[in-house]
């Protein structure tokens, strides 16, 4: 299979290549794509060197699959051009997520919606992915009525320059300010830009994308997203009201049986999920599972995942793998 990775030199792009290699994805020809200033440079994949090419060159080669991680504007401009030559695009930006004609996919939840006609497929926001992974089985069993979520998001969610800001500030070095304020020894209650309703774009992504993935516009959701001085891994405190009575034992059992979820929840031995343990892993970790005694049918969860892996690269590769398995991409289509 001929596979293009668009944004191959970025934070998510490098993880995409790593995940493709780890999962032994059937790449017969790799086409790494990056900005014009990177064209001609080389990257390594499976022990071989590959030259970075331009967007136009990649399209001329008509890849079967293009994994995009190059920002919304790039995707809006170029994803349709790849689709025109028959390439299936899986896009990691926010460009297509809420387009009513595009699927927004977390494979464990709604891959069944995919068809051979889907040429541009949206990868959800990293914070949304880890939350819906934990909530989807609860929604199926009990019905999710309302979600109150507060996030603790790492700087890699912003990109390489934000990570550099944190590392420079850690050693007292002057640096390019990606955030409006220092992130070292600080917490910034703003992820992305503010919208007219007083919420940030990130907060509204969690609202709108969750409803679309769970296929239920009736779920009431409110979100506060916060940037914290952590290198990698997002954490979320989630309060969820269900439609039926439950026991904590049943909730824990249900989550333990859910593929892609790992329950780490033993207060007696101080066991709970943390970003330091999630880094480099593909699972979504859930702990601090407890009843909210302030109102009926409500519980609290603490959800942690590596935002560059399941929150981005791994989910995209899982979508691609599902499509290969079901003969929706590549030569199998014939």
Positions annotated as catalytic residues are: 126, 234
- Region of 260 please: left (phi>0), alpha (psi -120 to 50) or beta: left
The token pair that represents 273 in the structure block: 């999920």
Treating both helix axes as pointing N-terminal to C-terminal, what angle do 11-22 and 314-325 enclose, rounded to 10 degrees? 40
**CB neighbour class for 36 (10 Å; exposed up to 12, middle 13-18, buried from 19):** exposed
The CA-to-CA distance between both ends of the chain, in Å, stands at 14
- Say if CB 157 and CB 307 are below 8 A apart: yes
The CA distance from 227 to 229, in Å, is 7
- Say if CB 123 and CB 91 are below 8 A apart: yes
The token pair that represents 45 in the structure block: 């994949």
**Residue 15: how many other CB atoms lie within 10 Å:** 23
The CA distance from 277 to 95, in Å, is 31
Phi, psi (5° rounding) for residue 100? -65, -20
Task: Look at residue 145 and give its three-state secondary structure.
Answer: strand
Q: What is the CA radius of gyration of the chain?
A: 20
Q: What angle do CA 111, 325, 95 make, to 5 degrees?
A: 45
Residue 238's DSSP bridge partners are 149, 301
- Sign of the four-CA dihedral 29, 32, 33, 38: negative
């Amino acid at each position: 299979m001929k596979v293009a990775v668009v944004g191959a030199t970025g934070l998510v792009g490098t993880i995409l290549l790593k995940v493709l290699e780890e999962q032994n994805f059937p790449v017969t020809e790799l086409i790494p794509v990056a900005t014009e200033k990177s064209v001609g440079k080389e990257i390594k994949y499976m022990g071989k060197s590959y030259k970075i090419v331009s967007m136009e060159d990649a399209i001329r080669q008509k890849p079967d699959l293009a994994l995009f991680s190059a920002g919304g504007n790039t995707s809006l401009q170029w994803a349709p051009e790849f689709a025109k030559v028959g390439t299936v695009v899986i896009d990691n930006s926010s460009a297509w997520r809420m387009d009513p004609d595009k699927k927004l996919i977390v494979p464990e939840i709604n891959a069944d919606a995919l068809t051979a006609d889907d040429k541009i497929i949206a990868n959800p926001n990293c914070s949304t992915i880890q939350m819906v992974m934990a909530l989807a089985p609860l929604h199926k069993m009990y019905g999710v009525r309302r979600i109150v979520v507060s996030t603790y998001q790492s700087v890699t969610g912003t990109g390489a320059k934000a990570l550099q800001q944190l590392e420079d500030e850690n050693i007292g070095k002057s640096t390019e300010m990606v955030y409006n304020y220092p992130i070292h020894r600080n917490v910034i209650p703003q992820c992305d830009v503010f919208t007219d309703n007083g919420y940030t774009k990130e907060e509204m992504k969690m609202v709108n994308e969750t409803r679309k993935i769970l296929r239920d516009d009736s779920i009431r959701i409110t979100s506060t997203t916060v940037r914290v001085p952590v290198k990698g891994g997002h954490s979320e405190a989630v309060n969820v009201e269900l439609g039926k009575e439950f026991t904590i034992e049943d909730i824990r059992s249900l989550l333990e049986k859910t593929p892609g979820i790992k329950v780490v929840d033993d207060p007696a031995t101080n066991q709970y999920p943390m970003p330091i343990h999630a880094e480099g892993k593909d699972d979504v970790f859930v702990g601090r599972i407890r009843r909210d005694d302030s109102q009926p049918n409500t519980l609290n969860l603490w959800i942690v995942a590596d935002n560059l892996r399941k929150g981005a690269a791994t989910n995209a590769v899982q979508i691609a793998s599902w499509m290969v398995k079901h003969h929706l991409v590549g030569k199998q289509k014939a």
